[in-house]
């Protein structure tokens, strides 16, 4: 079955170039679709596989709409969604593609988070493995494939799915506008449709460092809006740790017995205070 890789870019050209380099070092996909959310139309290098670019107009981070646009441009029977800040291992495309051919599921692989400065020209997989840290809340098997403990652990950083299944699920819900909850919503809708989340041993991605915030106060308006949409559909609150932190800062109302209310946007000082040190990978 043919495989299309889909990635989204907005102001992350350096990360995108590493992603494409990683794809070029392994089993090539049938194509890579790059959805440009920020208008970048500068030429991209040839790594031996077809490259398509989709220009998506609009402000902010329309992640759901961008992923759906990527799917519409993709011709593969298997779709692999790979965040632009991830470098794929040499076996990621072949490994996730094979598992998606075997299983009608959302299939994720392990991701190692890299500290600042870990990726240099001529990088080697062993060096990235040595520098990276696996996320502590997700456990991947040493071999084979296992069910995720619950759909909320679905990881949109890198996952594979059959194109026909993606279409049957309706893709990502574009009513989730901007950052937050669109991936968790997909996973719970998939579970309701009998499509599980599976964790695979094959493949790995290395997450390239970029500034991170805890909580992500710069996205509070998106997160509050999307949390309300998720709660209305599924009956519980997603991202509850972030919502609690926002309430503690006075950005949202603490009462979540009804619709979540955004009280104000963060100040520049609050955004600066939430930024994690570069030494922390996540």
For residue range 270-281, list pLDDT tens digits in order: 999 999 998 777
Looking at residue 221, its pLDDT comes to 97
pLDDT for the residue numbered 126: 95
Instruction: Give the model's pLDDT for residue 155.
Output: 87
Q: Which two tokens stand for residue 10?
A: 């907005």
Please report the pLDDT score of residue 141 as a whole number. Answer: 96
pLDDT digits (tens, 9 = 90+) for 199-245: 999 999 999 999 999 999 999 999 999 999 999 999 999 999 999 99
pLDDT of amino acid 137: 86
Rounded alpha-carbon distances, angstroms, from residue 28 to 19, 72, 162:
12, 20, 18
- The separation between CA 119 and the C-alpha centre of its own chain, rounded to angstroms, equals 20
- pTM, entire model: 0.96
**Inter-helix orientation angle 220-234/182-192, to 10°:** 10
What per-residue confidence (pLDDT) applies to 59?
82
% of the chain beyond a pLDDT of 70 = 100
Section 47-70 average pLDDT: 94
Q: Is the bond into 260 cis (omega within 30 degrees of 0)?
A: no
Instruction: List phi, psi (to 5°) of 180.
Output: 110, 125
| Average pLDDT for the chain | 96
Residue 184 is predicted with a pLDDT of 98
The pLDDT, as a whole number, for residue 58 is 77
Q: What is the pLDDT of residues 132-144, one digit of tens each?
A: 999 888 999 999 9
Please give the pLDDT value at position 282.
Answer: 72
Written as one string, the DSSP assignment of 220-255 is HHHHHHHHHHHHHHHSS-SSHHHHHHHHHTTSB-S-
- Output the six-digit token pair for 212: 């991170």
Q: What is the pLDDT of residues 78-128, one digit of tens each?
A: 999 999 999 999 999 999 999 999 999 999 999 999 999 899 999 999 999
* Digit-coded pLDDT (tens) for 129-183: 999 999 888 999 999 999 999 999 998 999 999 999 999 999 999 999 999 999 9
| Tokens at 193, concatenated | 């449709």
- Are 54 and 36 in contact by the 8 Å Cβ rule? The answer is yes
Residues 16-56 have pLDDT tens digits of 999 999 999 999 999 999 999 998 999 999 999 999 999 99
C-alpha separations of 233 from 123, 150, 227 in Å: 44, 18, 10
Quote the pLDDT of residue 278: 83
> What are 275's two structure tokens?
């930024």
């Amino acid at each position: 079955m043919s495989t299309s890789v889909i990635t989204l870019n907005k102001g992350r050209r350096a990360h995108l170039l590493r992603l494409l380099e990683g794809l070029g070092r392994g089993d090539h996909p049938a194509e890579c679709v790059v959805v440009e959310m920020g208008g970048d139309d500068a030429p991209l290098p040839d790594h031996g596989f077809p490259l398509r670019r989709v220009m998506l107009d609009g402000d902010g981070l329309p992640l759901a709409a961008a992923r759906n646009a990527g799917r519409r441009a993709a011709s593969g029977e298997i779709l692999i969604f790979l965040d632009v800040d991830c470098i794929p291992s040499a076996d990621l495309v072949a490994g996730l593609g094979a598992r998606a051919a075997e299983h009608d599921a959302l299939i994720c692989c392990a991701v190692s988070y890299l500290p600042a400065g870990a990726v240099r020209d001529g990088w080697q997989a062993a060096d990235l493995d040595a520098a990276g840290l696996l996320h502590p809340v997700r456990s991947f098997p040493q071999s084979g494939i296992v069910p995720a403990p619950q759909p909320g652990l679905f990881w949109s950083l890198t996952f594979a799915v059959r194109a026909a299944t993606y279409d049957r699920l309706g893709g990502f819900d574009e009513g989730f506008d901007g950052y937050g909850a669109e991936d968790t919503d997909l996973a719970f809708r998939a579970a309701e449709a009998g499509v599980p989340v599976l964790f695979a041993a094959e493949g790995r991605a290395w997450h390239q460092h970029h500034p991170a915030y805890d909580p992500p106060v710069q996205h509070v308006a998106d997160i509050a809006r999307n949390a309300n949409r998720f709660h209305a559909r599924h009956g519980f609150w997603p991202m509850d740790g972030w919502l609690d932190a926002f309430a503690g800062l006075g950005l949202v109302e603490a009462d979540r017995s009804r619709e979540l209310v955004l009280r104000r946007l963060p100040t520049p000082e609050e955004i600066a205070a939430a930024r994690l040190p570069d030494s922390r990978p996540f």
